[in-house]
Each structure stands twice: as structure tokens, then as C-alpha cells.
Amino acid sequence: MNVPFFNYASRYAEDREKIKDIVYQVGISDNFILKERVVELEDAIRQYTGAKHVIAVANGTTALTILLQAMGVGPGVDVLTPAFSFISTASTIALLGGTPVFVDVDPLTGMMDPNDLERKVTPASKVVIPTHLFSVMADMESIHEIAQKHNLVVLEDSAVALGARQQGAIAGIMGNAGLYSFFPAKPLGGIGDGAVIVTNDDELGRISRMLRNHGQDGITRFYHHLLGYNNRMDETAASYLLHKLRRFDDLLNKRREIAGLYNEAFKHLAPMIQVVTDAHEERVYYTYVIQAERRDELKEFLESRGIETQIYYPTALPLQPAFAYLGHQAGDFPNAEAITGRSLALPLYAEMPSEHVQQVIIAVVDFYARVNVHA
Ligand SMILES: Cc1ncc(COP(=O)(O)O)c(C=O)c1O
């Protein structure tokens, strides 16, 4: 039996008729972009998270761009960002003319290391981007302390963390601003790209709202206060997300249940496998990522049993060819680089059949049993 990493067919199966209806209703409405369904979604996310301002945009990457621009990032400005992350957390800084200053990560959690952050702050540093990845959150308390000491604005990259909490506080609004992505693979995955910016800061909210729509204020059309973007959410995207938000907590709970089974099965395999398991109830399991010894062999073994896995992320950001101009060398970010050689994402999605979960567990346990015998 093949075990896919994600299964979009099962994910969207129950919405088949709803999606057809949404596309038709929007198609006959004359209202395609940034209209009442988008406003309704913004209200719903406001209620779900408690954020004061919610601004719907076209994708998470340009949500980051808009926020960085609203925070004053441009030439001559440094932004502290994790060395282990998705490309957007660094490319957006560079594309605005700012300089990404990479910070190494904690060797176990893979999230920004506050000690290295303290070391890396430069006189030109203005913003720090703590990023939450997989199901793990950055250490926001320590990062806040450092941010306050150095007068840094905190842009929380919570693209994958809608619904997550840290000691009760809600991911996305723990810093000055955050975002949630609705790319189809994300826990609240839409039917295409989409995202929202969230902030409790009136000025960041006001500027972000203008930047997403060519710098207009939403009152006077064709009057441009700022040079902005065409980065707006479609009505079809908003309508589907509103529909799915109603069952979002159930979906998160199902993911959490599967992750709980993995956690239980793999705890005996430490230190060959390391997983961050604390605060399980507060986590959003976007993906289930382990740090594994003999990762590449494990991946091949799972493949031979029909189990699909992914590597998030195979290369540390400072060593990506796109950042060669910054002059970083192998060895500059030891923890991030070590994690790129150990991290492996196992299949996990809300609709995953329990036989598939068992199949993954049996195969992983079997692999390490064989390795031990032959060691
Ligand atoms: C941590 C993180 N930040 C930002 C993004 C960008 O979001 P989007 O794909 O909506 O542009 C992603 C997407 O995977 C992400 O994982």
C-alpha cells in the first residue's frame, strides 16, 4: 500500500460541490477581488485570533514583503532572519534592498537561536524575523527581550502556525505583526495561493492595507498615497477559506492525534531520532519533521516500502546560490547546516488513514532495528 506524503484528493473530496458552487457564485457576482467575502474572511480571522487588524493578501511571501516595507526595510537596513527556513524569510528582505543577517538556529528545535541573535545584531539592524516551522515555535520570550534591548521590530513569520499557541499566547500576534499562509499544503489550505497579515499595530495595519492595493486607501480610487503592489485576495479564495475555517479546529485535532501516535512510537528511538514533543496540545502540526541519524538511508528505506517523505530544507539559506553575494562559507552556521543533513518530514495530514500511520511507524522502527543489528 502506497503512503503519500499529502493527499489533496482526500483533502478536498468533501468540498467538491461547495467548490463548484463558490466558483459559480463568484463568477456571476461581478465581484471578483477584495469584496464582501474577503471582508468576511478578515472578520472571521480577527475573531479566531483576536488580532486587531487582519489584511487579506494574495500569498504569504508578499505578506512578508509588505510588512517589511511597512517596517521601513530598504537599502542600508539589516534584518535578522534564521539561517534555516523557507526562502521567503530572506529573499523578501533582499528584494527590498535590505540585507539579510542570518542567525543560526537551536540544534534541537531548528528555530532561531536567541544567543546567536544577540551576537549578530548590527548597528543597522531594524527588524528580526522569528520563524515558526513545521510544528515548532521560536522562543518568543527570549527573542522579545533581545528585540527590546536593541530596539528591533518583531515580524513573526507565522505562515504555517495559524491556531498555534505558546504558553497561551497566539502565534502571529506575539510580535509587532505576523501572517498566515493559505497555500494548499498549509493546515488551512485554500484552493490556490492566499494569506493574511495580522497585527495589533494601527499604523502597520493602515500601511499594509494600502500597500496590498497599489497604495490606495480604499476610499479614493486611483489616488496613490504609496507605491504599492497588486497583492489582493480573490473572492473565490476567501469564500472557500471561510467555509473551511468552520472545521479548522477539528482538522488541527486530527493532525495532533496522528502526531501523538508518532511521538509515542518514536520516543524509544532517541537519540537516533529526535523530535520536539513539548507543549503538544498547543502545537499546530503543519508537517511532522524528525531529525534522523542516517537520514538518507531512512528516506530510501521508506521509499522502498512505498512511503513518501520530504526534506525540509536540504540547504541552509546562507549557502543557497542566490545568497552567494553575501560571502558565507560552509561551517558558518553549524546548527542549521547539521539540521539540513538530518531533517525528514513524514506523511501527516488530517485525512490520513490510520493504516498509513501504522505503516509509517512500523517502517521507521524496523529501519532502526535493522541498523542496530548491523551496527
Ligand atoms: C515559514 C514560511 N514563511 C513564508 C512562506 C511563504 O508563504 P506563501 O507560500 O504563501 O508565499 C512559507 C511557505 O511555505 C513558509 O513556510
- List per-block mean pLDDT (blocks of 10 residues) for the chain, which spans 375 residues: 92 94 96 97 98 98 98 98 98 98 97 98 98 97 98 98 97 98 96 98 98 97 97 98 97 98 95 94 96 98 98 98 98 98 97 97 96 72
Q: Whose CA is nearest to atom 7 of ligand 1?
A: 60
pLDDT at position 23 is: 97
Q: Whose CA is nearest to atom 10 of ligand 1?
A: 60
- Asked if residue 59 has its Cβ within 6 Å of ligand 1, the reply is yes
- Are 3 and 360 within 8 A, CB to CB? yes
- Asked if residue 86 has its Cβ within 6 Å of ligand 1, the reply is yes
The CATH class, in words, for 248-374 is alpha beta
pLDDT at position 19 is: 97
- Asked if residue 12 has its Cβ within 6 Å of ligand 1, the reply is no
The catalytic site residues sit at 186
pLDDT at position 43 is: 98
pLDDT at position 375 is: 63
Taking the CA atoms of residue 59, residue 62, residue 63 and residue 68 in that order, the dihedral angle to the nearest 10 degrees is 170
Ligand 1 centroid–CA 159 distance in Å is 5
Q: Whose CA is nearest to atom 3 of ligand 1?
A: 159
pLDDT at position 140 is: 98
- Asked if residue 286 has its Cβ within 6 Å of ligand 1, the reply is no
Ligand 1 centroid–CA 218 distance in Å is 27
pLDDT at position 372 is: 78
Ligand 1 centroid–CA 196 distance in Å is 12
Ligand 1 centroid–CA 264 distance in Å is 29
- Asked if residue 88 has its Cβ within 6 Å of ligand 1, the reply is yes
Ligand 1 centroid–CA 304 distance in Å is 30
- Asked if residue 60 has its Cβ within 6 Å of ligand 1, the reply is yes
- Asked if residue 61 has its Cβ within 6 Å of ligand 1, the reply is yes
Q: Could you give the maximum distance between any two Cα atoms of the chain, in Å? A: 73
Domain 8-245 matching CATH 3.40.50.720: the answer reads no
| Interhelix angle 36-49/235-245, nearest 10 degrees | 40
In the chain, residues under CATH classification 3.40.640.10 are: 8-245
Ligand 1 atom index nearest CA of 182: 10
Closest CA to 342 of 299, 300, 301: 299
Q: Whose CA is nearest to atom 14 of ligand 1?
A: 86
Give me the phi and psi of 82, to 5 degrees please: -70, 145
Closest CA to 368 of 262, 260, 263, 273: 273
N-to-C CA span, the chain: 29
Closest CA to 119 of 91, 87, 153, 80: 80
